[in-house]
Amino acid sequence: MSETNEQPKRMALIASKGTLDWAYPPFILASTAAAMEMEVGIFFTFYGLTLLKKKIEAKVAPQTNPAMPMKMPFGSQGFQNLDWPMPNLLMGNVPGFETMATSLMKKTFKNKGVATIEELRDICLESDVKLIGCQMTMDVFGFSKDDF
């Protein structure tokens, strides 16, 4: 028998953004790494801390991501495949655009069978991913432990 001093593989992630599009990467990476038997921790700070709240209300902020294509989750396949180039000026100034973009993204994800943020968070918890909230951010934003 040979002894091995193999260290466990670990991954540390930081979630600092609370928008819907930025909420997915840390949970996807963490759940994937946990499935590969890695020790994983996510540190939630600033706006990312809201992803630990009991009720997640993340929205898409398309005006801050000009590379994001607008896809329609309904209609013919040709219509769904169109890229709708939306200038930042339009996205930032049309009332209700953020709500519409959030709704379209959630509908598209549902149609494609993508898990919700809440489902991914639950998968991470079930997979023993350590979810760590930043105490300083809690203090600055006035959150209490009851919010989580």
Q: 88 is in which domain, residue-wise?
A: 10-147
Separation between Cα atoms, residue 25 and residue 81, nearest integer Å: 23
> With bands split at pLDDT 50, 70 and 90, how would you rate the model's confidence at 8?
confident
Position 113 in a domain: yes
The answer to whether position 2 is within a domain reads no
Decide if 5 is inside a domain: no
User: What SS3 class is residue 38?
Assistant: coil
- More confident site: 29 or 98: 29
Q: How many independent structural domains does the chain possess?
A: 1
Q: Is the pLDDT of residue 113 over 80?
A: yes
30-87 pLDDT, tens digit per residue, is 999 999 999 999 999 999 999 999 889 888 876 656 555 565 566 677 766 666 655 5
Q: Is the pLDDT of residue 2 over 60?
A: no
Instruction: With respect to residue 96, please indicate whether it lies within any of the assigned structural domains.
Output: yes
The answer as to whether 3 is a domain residue is: no
pLDDT score recorded for residue 84: 61
Tell me how far apart the alpha carbons of residues 58 and 81 are, in angstroms, rounded to a whole number.
25
Res. 10: pLDDT tops 80: yes
58: in domain? yes
110: Cβ–Cβ under 8 A, 6 or more apart, which residues?
73
Q: Show Cβ contacts of residue 121 under 8 Å, excluding neighbours closer than 6 positions.
A: 27, 51, 52, 56, 131
Provide the 8-state DSSP code for 13.
E
What is the Cα gyration radius of the chain? 18
Q: 71 lies in a domain?
A: yes
